[in-house]
Chains A and B, each alone.
Chain A
Amino acid sequence: MILLLVPALPLLASAILVLSEGRMSQRNIALVGVGAVVLSAVIATLIAITFLNQQEQSVALTLWQWVHIGNFAPTVSLYLDPLSLVMMLIVTIIGSLILLYAAEFMEGDEGYNRFFAYMDLFVAAMLVLVLAGDLLALFVGWEGVGLCSYLLIGFWYQDAANGLAARKAFIVTRIGDVGFMLALFLLFTQLHTLQIQTLLVQAPNSWAVGSLAATLTAALLLTGAIGKSAQVPLQTWLPDAMAGPTPVSALIHAATMVTAGVYLIARTHTLFLLAPAVLAAVGVIGTITLLVSAFAALNQSDIKRILAYSTVSQIGYMFLALGVGAWSAAIFHLMVHAFFKALLFLAAGAITMRLHHEQNIFRMGGLATRLPLAFWSFLIGSASLAALPLITAGFYSKDAILAAAWAPGGAARLLWLGGIVTAFVTALYIFRAVFVVFFGTAKTEVSGRYGWRVALPLTALSVLALVGGLVETPPVLGGAKIFSRLLAPVFGAAPPPAPVTLILFTSAISLLGLGLAYALYWRIGPRFAAWAARPAIAACRNFFYGGWAFDELYHALVVAPFLALVRVNRHDVIDRFYTGIAWTCRWLHRRLGALQTGQVRWYASWLAAGSVVTIAVAVLR
């Protein structure tokens, strides 16, 4: 029952903040807003300790029955197994660190109360999503994070561009949600339940591998996951989502929202095993996404957009892992990514808040000595993102994924190749940012100081981004299997570990990326910039800069035809029919109304005439 407190506390805090309508002081708002999530993180940790010491592999908690119509009787239930346990810990712990940071970052903002109300609701919705035992309850959490992302991306709504970005995020993810909803309908009509565990048991019994129903369901679920996790072709919303405050970006990218798609696929992986074609599509989509967004990240100039594209790309790795059936590797990378991406965003926020919200990396420079805390945090985050060998957590998780992609052989090696190329580009683009931002000559004034509420999350996340990977290491480096053994009841045995040569190759690739970044953006910086400014190269860079022109493509394919239709239909063609009916009625009304003279004798004559006619008809018939 104590499990209920984990999502309930942030929800309660959100309600309190909404109802207080900003009458509380900022100190108290932060106390309620941050305290609730910290408390729920503490409770989650206690639950984790109890859970790991007990024999059972899952705990189901049915709260109440939602409705009962015919044989449709969804329950509101919580379900705790190793997978949701890991997700719950990620959401609450990373969430509370980000909220603590936000308490200082947002200080002085007039929407302080509103901000924490939304953030707490966001965390609560994500917790509902990961703890739900019923797909319908999961859907509530799913839409909840969608709503909160809309509210938070458009948090500074006075600027119209932010509202536009918020709407874009909402609408694009909504396209995926339609697929998810259709999947729910299909599951219910075919298997007559939405209880996740029942579904996962029933599906293999009623559906053959590769059957139409299984393929369709998995494909529709994948659509939902693509929308939420910002994969090709629905990835365009995430870079624009940077319009929100930096802690929001950190929360969306690390703990909540974008990881929901990965979680959904991992949670329903039995269904995907029944549809091998869709599972392969997951891997292909992941690979395409990671290549597309890594090249886009390479050409951004806004520090937050670099990180946004890198998130899209890292989620691509998770999809790649899911596609080759390495479920625990995907969740492992999800966890490690949450550590270093939260760290990177918070460090980026720490830089911008001292630079009067300057986000263009080319107007920064030389910040290494002047902002040592931000520098070291960002450096550690970057190292983890680039998967520098041995010392970073990202190395272990990315290595697990690449090993899993290598293992099956055949066409899956292409996915591996995509992963390797991206590993190289990842190291290149993130160290490009590091060299441009932190080295060279200073270009901007630095003001202010950091309080402990910024320093503590940065330090804690730095530690996690370095050592968080040690729970799962390849055999040659100790062979720890804590993570995959923990998730074994959900996912079964882990795929075979990578051969040593492969590990060496991967390490060499990321170091090579770092080296090239050093060479291009630091050693021969100006000469390289001159080369890159050539028209042909610049055109290519612009193409990448705009995210492979996906926005323009959608504008041409979807938005423009829609607008043209709107213009054609401006005076509503179908409405003409109804206008016609109304017009006829009005005309008849005027004609018949003229008969209503108000003259009693006139009416009497009509009565008499009517009677005569009626009697005549009756008699003469």
Chain B
Amino acid sequence: MMTVPVQHALFLAIILFALGVTGVLVRRNLLFILMSIEIMLNAAGLAFITAAARWGQADGQVMFLFVLTLAAAEVSVGLAVIIRIRHRLTTLDADAANLMHG
């Protein structure tokens, strides 16, 4: 069985996370922002799995299950919010939803 080096897996996680952050910051479409957040969550999950494999312990996998649950909950709430925003503002532009500025 071929083993993936820890460094490779962590690099992949970092790249994924950076992609996610960039997506959140530069995308204006709310759906894409939500997807970028999912990517960031999965990057974190990947890091957990890697660590679990590296140390041969189940804790990291348990944490990944939590992350999955969290992601599911986040998506459901996020989608509901997006639907409301679409309903109110008739657009998915995140910059249009700035009614609470100071």
Interface residue ranges, A against B (CB under 8 Å): 592-601, 604-605, 608
Contacts and interface: CB of A to CB of B under 8 A. Distances in A.
Given A601-B24, A601-B25, A596 B100 contact: yes
Nearest to A597: B101
Nearest to A600: B94
A598 B24 contact: no
B25 A593 contact: no
Contacts, number: 35
B95 A604 contact: no
Interface residues of B, number: 14
Contact of A608 (B21, B33, B97, B100): B21
B100 A598 contact: yes
Interface in B3-18: none
B102 interface: yes
A612 to B, nearest CB: 10
B90 interface: no
Contacts of B1: none
B95 A599 contact: yes
B25 A605 contact: yes
Interface in B22-40: 24-26, 28, 33
A595 B98 CA distance: 12
A597 B96 CA distance: 11
B99 interface: yes
B23 to A, nearest CB: 10
A598 B25 contact: no
Interface in B62-102: 94-95, 97-102
Contacts of A592: 102
A600 B25 contact: no
Given A599-B98, A601-B28, 17 more contacts: A594-B102, A595-B102, A596-B101, A596-B102, A597-B98, A598-B98, A598-B99, A598-B101, A598-B102, A599-B95, A600-B97, A601-B24, A601-B25, A601-B94, A605-B25, A608-B21, A608-B25
Contact of A599 (B21, B24, B94): B94
A600 B95 CA distance: 7
Select the residue from A592, A597, A601 with max chain B CB neighbours within 10 A: A601
Residues of A contacting B: mostly: helix
A605 B21 CA distance: 9
A275 B98 CA distance: 80
A604 B98 CA distance: 14
A593 B102 contact: yes
A592 B101 CA distance: 11
Contacts of B21: 608
A596 B98 CA distance: 10
A593 B100 CA distance: 11
Contacts of A596: 100-102
Interface of B: 21, 24-26, 28, 33, 94-95, 97-102
Contacts of B102: 592-598
A595 B101 CA distance: 8
A604 B24 CA distance: 7
A21 to B, nearest CB: 54
A601 B25 CA distance: 5
A359 to B, nearest CB: 70
29 contacts: A593-B102, A594-B102, A595-B102, A596-B100, A596-B101, A596-B102, A597-B98, A597-B102, A598-B97, A598-B98, A598-B101, A598-B102, A599-B94, A599-B95, A599-B98, A600-B33, A600-B94, A600-B97, A601-B25, A601-B26, A601-B28, A601-B33, A601-B94, A601-B95, A604-B24, A604-B25, A605-B25, A608-B21, A608-B25
Contacts of B94: 599-601
A205 B27 CA distance: 92
B36 to A, nearest CB: 10
Contacts of A594: 102
A599 B101 CA distance: 8
Nearest to B24: A604
A72 to B, nearest CB: 53
B31 to A, nearest CB: 13
Contacts of B26: 601
Contacts of A604: 24-25
B85 to A, nearest CB: 10
B33 to A, nearest CB: 8
Nearest to A593: B102
B32 to A, nearest CB: 11
Nearest to A594: B102
A598 B97 CA distance: 7
Contacts of A597: 98, 101-102
A604 B97 CA distance: 14
B91 to A, nearest CB: 14
Contacts of A599: 94-95, 98, 101
A594 B102 CA distance: 6
A598 B33 CA distance: 16
Contacts of A608: 21, 25
Contacts of B100: 596, 598
B62 to A, nearest CB: 24
Contacts of B101: 596-599
Nearest to B99: A598
Contacts of A605: 25
Nearest to A611: B21
A598 B85 CA distance: 14
Select the residue from B95, B97, B102 with max chain A CB neighbours within 10 A: B102
Contacts of A600: 33, 94, 97
B30 to A, nearest CB: 8
Nearest to B26: A601
Nearest to A595: B102
A588 to B, nearest CB: 12
5 nearest A-B residue pairs (beta carbon): A596-B102, A598-B101, A598-B98, A593-B102, A598-B100
A600 B21 CA distance: 13
Contacts of A593: 102
Nearest to B36: A604
Contacts of A595: 102
Nearest to B97: A600
A592 B98 CA distance: 17
